[in-house]
Amino acid sequence: MHKSSRSKSLVIAVLLFTNAIPGLTLADPMQGPADHAGDLLRQGKYEEAIRQGLAENSADGLTSAAIASVSEMTLAPTPCLACIDRAEQLSRKALVADPKGANPTRCLTAALGYRGRLVGLLAARSAKLGETSKLALDEALAAHPHDPGLLSAMAAWHFEVVRVGGSVLANWTYGATMEKGLEDFSEALKLAPNDVIINYQFGLELAAYDADQYRDKIVRAWKHATTAPSQSAYDDAQKKRADELLTLLKGGDRQAFDEKVNAYMGIPK
């Protein structure tokens, strides 16, 4: 690839790095607010959780509403602009109630990532979606340095920049490396070893980058995701996806596997 093309690819990666992460990189919802909206969220009653969270109008309730909206957004079979709009709106509303909050921040970066992939490079650059996401993560991590979901989100940023831009230019330009991403994911998993979403997302990100090189890590992560205790309906959905991807990977149909990985990464066809 020519340097100019590689540079353009890297810009795309930085702008769209959150890739919406279908697993949201959200921490286990059971660690979230113990409000009625949170109960509905854990049951997978996302529309009810949104209505209840907005009615409660508290930091916890609004956070549950934001997580519910992002859950619907990432579980949709194809990117949905209306879903993205609502997820971003509710995430920003939750951040107003809980500035630098870990869950609202992860929700916002997920929504911006989906928007960036859907609207394309020029619109993403104009809206500064990538910069907004990175700044939000940096600020949230400064306030919550040991939050496993935030650490996994930052790891995903490293992986995505390297995946699209290449290791040399990614490191030279932005300091992004696979090694740092692996370190961040490792730290996240030390803090939350049985987190279904983080295990699932770790495998998904590696599969998107190089399923051959990281096959052993991918298989271990997805196996753990499928056997870890489920704490919510969203966990159940991620366990099902992990099992499906494992079956495709072991079956040897690389085209079907890659198509499914891209779909679950939130990449429009």
| pLDDT score of 25 more than 70 | no
pLDDT digits (tens, 9 = 90+) for 176-225: 789 989 999 999 999 999 999 999 999 999 999 999 999 999 999 999 99
Predicted local distance difference test score (pLDDT) of residue 159: 83
Please report which confidence band the pLDDT of residue 2 belongs to, taking 50, 70 and 90 as the band edges. Answer: very low
Predicted local distance difference test score (pLDDT) of residue 165: 66
Identify the DSSP state of 145: T
Question: What's the per-residue H, E or C state across 70-89?
Answer: HHHHHHCCCCCHHHHHHHHH
Identify the DSSP state of 25: T
Q: State how far the Cα of 76 lies from the Cα of 74, in Å rounded to an integer.
A: 6
Domains identified in the chain and CATH numbers? 3-264 (1.25.40)
Interior angle at CA 95, CA 101 and CA 136, nearest 5: 70
Residue 163 phi/psi, 5° resolution?
A: -60, -45
| pLDDT score of 9 more than 50 | no
Residue 100 phi/psi, 5° resolution?
A: 65, 15
Predicted local distance difference test score (pLDDT) of residue 92: 98
Predicted local distance difference test score (pLDDT) of residue 169: 64
Interior angle at CA 149, CA 129 and CA 267, nearest 5: 45
Q: What is the mean pLDDT of residues 221-250?
A: 97
Average pLDDT, the chain: 84
Q: What is the mean pLDDT of residues 105-113?
A: 88
Residue with tokens 């995903």, as numbered in its chain: 156
Contact 200, 210 (CB under 8 A): no
Helices (H) and strands (E) in the chain, counts: 15, 0
What six digits make up the tokens of 93?
A: 């509303």
